[in-house]
Chain A
Amino acid sequence: MARNGSGRPPGEPRAIGYLYVLPAFLLYAGFALFPLGRAVQLSFYDWDGQTLGTWAGLRNYTDVFTDPILRGAFGHTLVLILFFALLPVAIGLLLASILNRARVRGLGFFRTVVFLPQVIAMVVIAIAWKQIYDPTSGFGPVRGWLGDYSLALPAVGLIGTWFEIGLATVLLLAGMSRIPRELYEAARLDGAGPVREFFAVTLPSVRGEIAVALTLTIIAALKTFDLIYMTTKGSPGTTTLVPSYIVFDRAFRTNQVGSAAAVGVTLTVLIFAISFLVNRIGDRSTS
C-alpha cells in the first residue's frame, strides 16, 4: 500500500480511504443493497418465479390494505407489539428500578439470567416453549394454548415477552445507573417513597433508553419469523399469521413472488419509519 497523504494535516480527506472501503462495499452492495433494489422492482410485478412476470403497478401494495389475510397479518403484528415491546419494557422498568434502588445481592447473576434468552437461537426457544404448551404434557395453565383459536396469538406473544424482558431490563438498568445519586437523595429528603421516586426521578431520566428499547423490541415483533415457522405456521386458521411468514409463504410456496416482495418492502418501510419516529421522540425528550 503506497504512502499517501503525507504533508497533509490530519483529518484531511484521504483518497486512499476508498480502497479500504471497497471490499466491504462490494460485498454489502452486491448481497444487501442490490437485492433490496430488486425487491422493490419485483414488488411491481406479478411473477410466479418461473415464467415471465407481468407489470402489476401498485396492486401488490394496495393488496396490503385490502386483502383481508394481509390486513389480518399486520393486525396480528400490533398484538405482538404489545407482547414483544410494551410488556417487556414495562416489566423491564420494574426490574431495573428494583435492581437500581435496592443494592440487591446477586445483581450480576440476575442480569446474566434474565439476559440469557437473548443469546439462544429462536428455533431452540420455540422447541422449548412448544413443550410447555404441549396439549398433553405441557405446563398446566397454558396447556394446549398454541392450538386454540383465541389463545394461540397471545401464546406466541408470551414467548416474545419472555425473550425481550432481559434486553429491556439490562438496557434500562444501564440508563438508571447513570442517574446522579443526589437526585434520589433530594427526592428522599422530600419524603418520596419508592413509587413517587420512580415517577419523579427514574422515569424521566431514562426516556432515551425507553425509546431505544421500544425501537429494538418493536422491530423484533415486526420481524417475527423463526418463532411462527417453528410453532404455528400461522395456524389455527390464520390466527397467528404474520407478514414475515406471508413473505416466505408467498415467495417460496404459493409462487406469488411479487406480492411477497411488496409485503417485504412494506415491512422494511415500517421498520425504518418506526426507528426514525421513536428516535425522534427519544431525542426530543432527552435534550
Chain B
Amino acid sequence: MIGRGERAANYVILVAFAIFALYPIGKIVAIALGPADSGSGGGILGVHPGNFVDAWQTGHFGSYLRTSLLVSVIVVVVSVLCSILAGYALGMLRFRGADALFYLFLIGMMMPNEVIVVPLYYDLRSVHLTDTIWAVVLPQIAQSIAFGTYWMRAYFRAGNRSMVEAARLDGANSWRTLWSVLVPLGRPAIVTLTLLVFMWTWNEFLIPLVMVTKDSLQTAPLGLAFFQGQHTSATTLLAAAACLVATPIVVLYAFLQRHFIAGMLEGAVRE
C-alpha cells in the first residue's frame, strides 16, 4: 500500500519535526547543566546539577515556586468547586435563564486578560488590594470559572439521567445526587479540569506582573522575567531557573498527557 520511498520520507519528516520541537528545550536543559557563570568547578561527569541549587537559593526561586504553588492551589480549589456547582445547575437543573447565563460565562472564556487587567489594577488599587495575594488569585479564579462552568456543564449535559432519576427516587435531594452520584462518576472530567486550571495558573504571567511588586508575592514566571532583566550575564542560572519553573507541569504532562491533550482539544471545540 505504502511504498518504501514514501515510508522513508514520512519518517524523515516526522523525525525532523520531533527534533525541531525538542531542540529549544534540549538547549535550555544543556545550558542549565553546563558550567556555572562564575566558572567555578564542581561538575559531575561534565554536568553541573549544582546550578539548580544556586537557582533555588541565590536566585530566590524556592520562594517564587512556593508562591506559585500557593496561588495555583487556591485558584484550582475555588474555581473547580464553583464550576462543579455552576455546571450542575446549568447542565442538569435547567432553571429559567440558564441558557442566557451560559452565554454570559462563554464571554469570559474568550475574553483576553489584557482587557480586564487595566481596570482591575486601578480598581483594586483604590481599595488597597494590589500587592496582595487576592489581586493575583481573584481575577484568575474568575477566568477559570468561565472555562470550568462551560466544561462541567458539558459533562452534566452528557451525564446519565437515569442514574439521577434513580437517586431521586431513593430520596436523594439535588445536593446529595450531585456529590454521591455525579461527582464520583465525573472524576475524569474533573481531573482534566483540575490539571488545565493548575497549568494555566502556574504559567500565567500578565496578571501577577501587573498586580504584584513585593518579592514575597512574585510567582515563578514573574521571578524568571525579573531575574532575566537584572542579571543579563547569569545565563546558566537563568536556564536552571527556567527548567525549575517548567518541570512541575512537564512531569504532570508526562504522566497524564491524555488529560492535557483531550482537555485542550475538547475545551476548544464549542458544541
Q: What residues of chain A have their CB less than 8 Å away from a CB belonging to chain B?
A: 1-6, 10-21, 23-25, 27-28, 30-33, 35-36, 38-39, 41-42, 49, 91, 94-95, 98-99, 101-102, 104, 110-125, 127-129, 131-132, 162, 165-167, 170-171, 174, 188, 194, 212, 215-216, 219, 222-223, 225-226, 229-230, 243-244, 247-248, 251-252, 257, 260-261, 264-265, 267-268, 271-272, 275, 279
Contacts and interface: CB of A to CB of B under 8 A. Distances in A.
B132 interface: no
B142 A32 contact: yes
Give the interface SS of chain A, mostly helix, strand, loop or mixed: helix
Given A24-B83, A226-B205, A102 B10 contact: yes
A217 to B, nearest CB: 10
A229 B21 contact: no
A162 B115 contact: no
B245 A121 contact: yes
Nearest to A171: B265
6 contacts: A32-B111, A121-B246, A122-B221, A131-B239, A165-B17, A194-B2
A128 B242 contact: yes
Nearest to A2: B173
A264 B265 contact: no
Interface string B88-131: 11100111101001001101101111111111111100000000
Give the interface SS of chain B, mostly helix, strand, loop or mixed: helix
Contact of B21 (A28, A162, A171, A264): A162
A23 B224 CA distance: 34
B17 A127 contact: no
B18 A114 contact: yes
Contacts of B2: 101-102, 194
Contacts of B254: 112
Contacts of B113: 223, 225
Contacts of B216: none
B89 A20 contact: yes
B74 interface: no
A264 B112 CA distance: 8
B210 A252 contact: yes
B194 interface: no
Interface centre among A120, A123, A230 (most CB of B within 10 A): A123
Given A17-B93, A33-B104, A121-B246, A98 B14 contact: yes
Contact of A261 (B13, B107, B110, B119): B119
Contacts of A28: 105, 108, 142, 145-146, 149
B89 A18 contact: yes
Given A127-B224, A252-B121, A20 B88 contact: yes
Nearest to B68: A121
Nearest to A30: B142
A287 to B, nearest CB: 14
Contacts of B117: 35, 247, 251
Contacts of A272: 110
B56 interface: no
B25 interface: yes
B174 interface: yes
B245 A123 contact: yes
B86 A33 contact: no
B121 A251 contact: yes
Contacts of A194: 2, 6
Contact of B253 (A116, A131, A215, A244): A116
B42 to A, nearest CB: 22
Contact of A131 (B27, B202, B269): B27
A279 B270 contact: yes
Contacts of B85: 20-21, 23-24
A110 B104 CA distance: 38
Nearest to B223: A123
A10 to B, nearest CB: 6
A23 B164 CA distance: 23
A35 B14 contact: no
A170 B115 CA distance: 30
A240 B193 CA distance: 34
A124 B224 contact: yes
A121 to B, nearest CB: 4
A21 B101 contact: yes
A124 B10 contact: no
B268 A216 contact: yes
Contact of B164 (A10, A21, A123): A10
B24 A132 contact: yes
A271 B112 contact: yes
A178 to B, nearest CB: 12
B138 interface: yes
A98 B7 CA distance: 9
A223 B203 CA distance: 15
